[in-house]
Amino acid sequence: METQEKIIVTLQRDNEALLIEKKEIASRCKKLEHDFEHLEAKHSLLLSAQQDFATRSNMHASNDSAKIANLQAQVEELQANLETEKRRCAILLQERNDLTRSKGDAPIHVSSAEIANVAVVREEHNRSEDTVAKLRESQRVHSIQKGTIDALHSEVARLESERRVSHNRENNLLREVDSLRTQVRDLEMALHHKKESISELISSCQAGSGNALRLKKQASRIHLLEAALLEKDEFTKRAMEELRTETKEVCERYQSTITELQQRLEVPKDDPELRRRIRILERENLELRRAIGSATVSSAIDSGEPAKAVTINPKHQADATGNTDKPGGQGLKGPSPHEVETTHLQSVIEQLRTGIWEHKQRSRMLQGKLDSIHAEWDARLAEMKANFALQIQKLRSAHNEELSRLEASHKSQLLEISKCSKSDNGANLASRLSRIVEEKGYDASLIAIGERLCYLEKRYSQKEEEKTHELLEMQRVAELEKKIQKEKTDLLLEQKNTQIKRFQIQLDELLTALSILQATT
pLDDT for res 190: 66
CA dist 120 and 150 (Å) reads: 46
**Which range has the worst mean pLDDT, 144-158, 201-215, 374-388, 442-456?**
201-215
pLDDT for res 153: 63
By C-alpha distance, which of 182, 152, 189 is closest to 65?
152
Model confidence over 400-445: pLDDT tens digits?
Answer: 777 777 677 767 766 766 666 555 555 555 566 566 556 555 555 5
Model confidence over 65-120: pLDDT tens digits?
Answer: 666 676 667 667 766 766 776 676 667 667 666 666 665 544 444 445 555 556 66
Tell me which long-range contacts 366-374 makes (C-beta under 8 A, separation of at least 24).
366/261, 366/264, 366/265, 366/518, 367/515, 367/518, 369/257, 369/261, 370/257, 370/261, 370/511, 370/514, 370/515, 373/254, 373/257, 374/507, 374/511
Whether 299 and 288 have beta carbons less than 8 Å apart is answered as no
What does the angle CA 15 – CA 17 – CA 21 come to, to the nearest 5 degrees?
115
Percentages of the chain per state (helix, strand, coil), in multiples of 5: 90, 0, 10
Alpha-helical (H) ranges within 196-316 are 199-205, 210-265, 272-302
pLDDT for res 453: 72
Model confidence over 294-328: pLDDT tens digits?
Answer: 655 555 445 444 433 333 343 344 343 444 343 44
Other C-beta atoms closer than 10 Å to the C-beta of 500 total 15
Neighbouring residues of 169: CB distance < 8 A, sequence distance ≥ 6: 470
By C-alpha distance, which of 52, 49, 46, 27 is closest to 509?
46
pLDDT for res 125: 67
Instruction: Share the mean pLDDT of the chain.
Output: 67
pLDDT for res 271: 60
Model confidence over 174-184: pLDDT tens digits?
Answer: 787 777 777 76
pLDDT for res 206: 47
Neighbouring residues of 33: CB distance < 8 A, sequence distance ≥ 6: none
By C-alpha distance, which of 274, 260, 353, 268 is closest to 30?
268
Model confidence over 29-46: pLDDT tens digits?
Answer: 677 777 767 666 666 666
Work out the end-to-end distance of the chain between its first and last CA atoms, rounded to an integer number of angstroms.
40
pLDDT for res 213: 73
Other C-beta atoms closer than 10 Å to the C-beta of 260 total 12
CA dist 172 and 165 (Å) reads: 11
pLDDT for res 135: 66
Q: Would you say the C-alpha torsion 224, 230, 233, 238 has a positive or negative sign?
A: negative
What proportion of the chain, given as a percentage, has pLDDT over 90? 0
Helices H, strands E: what count in the chain? 9, 0
Q: Which of 197-201, 259-263, 344-348, 426-430 has the highest mean pLDDT?
A: 344-348
Tell me the sheet residues that pair with 313.
316
pLDDT for res 109: 43
- Residue 155: pLDDT over 60: yes
What proportion of the chain, given as a percentage, has pLDDT over 70? 50
Other C-beta atoms closer than 10 Å to the C-beta of 510 total 18
pLDDT for res 367: 72
Model confidence over 119-131: pLDDT tens digits?
Answer: 666 776 677 677 7
pLDDT for res 160: 76
Instruction: State which amino acid sits at residue 243.
Output: L
CA dist 255 and 29 (Å) reads: 21
Rounded to an integer, what is the distance from CA 86 to the centroid of its chain? 44
pLDDT for res 320: 38
DSSP labels, 111-130: HHHHHHHHHHHHHHHHHHHH
- Residue 330: pLDDT over 50: no
CA dist 76 and 464 (Å) reads: 24
- Residue 472: pLDDT over 80: yes
pLDDT for res 318: 38
How far is residue 122 from each of residues 72, 132, 211, 344, 477, measured CA to CA in Å? 29, 15, 32, 117, 30
> Whats the size of the chain, residue-wise?
521
pTM value? 0.23
pLDDT for res 73: 72
CA dist 464 and 243 (Å) reads: 50
